[in-house]
Amino acid sequence: MRNANLLRPRFSRSQSGLTLVELMVVVIIIGILATIAIPNLMEAQDKAKNANVIAAAQALASNVQIAAVDTGGIIPESVYEVEELGAVKKLMNPFTKQPIELIEGVVDPDQDAPGTLGYEPNVTLAKPFRAGIDTEPELEPMIGGFVVTGVGIVKGEPAIVVALDNG
């Protein structure tokens, strides 16, 4: 009988290990932290891309103004003329990592992809555009003026994030 007891393994709880309950609590806490952190990280990523769209719109507006100086104060009348002057070279869409798309007129978030810029000649902003508050810029006619608009992501939805004029 004595030999039978020697063959049985003895189970003793080690003080240095974790129980299943403790491990489950740790996994649950990590899951809760992940559900809080991931949406914030996605929002921060969208804000960074929107900042890049705004920078591209500012660069385009500056390039158009420089081109107007070179052409005796005449602003380009179409997207084709803007592209011919080289005003959109090296501008990249942060959402697609492709060259930026420039369209005629004000961008439409329902139709145009995020990162798209719009060019509207012979207008100016009637009042300053407030991203996240205004849905569309208010324009008024002005010979020699132009407006550049851009689509980004606001609260997970496409929206106009920038509207600049040359005034």
Which tens digits make up the pLDDT trace of 128-161? Answer: 999 888 999 999 999 999 999 999 998 889 999 9
Task: Tell me the pairing of strands 117-125 and 102-104.
Answer: parallel
**pTM for the predicted model, two decimal places:** 0.77
pLDDT of residue 40: 81
Domain ranges of the chain: 18-165
Q: What is the pLDDT of residue 19?
A: 87
Beta-bridge partners for 124 = 140
Give the span between the Cα atoms of 126 and 146, in whole angstroms. 12
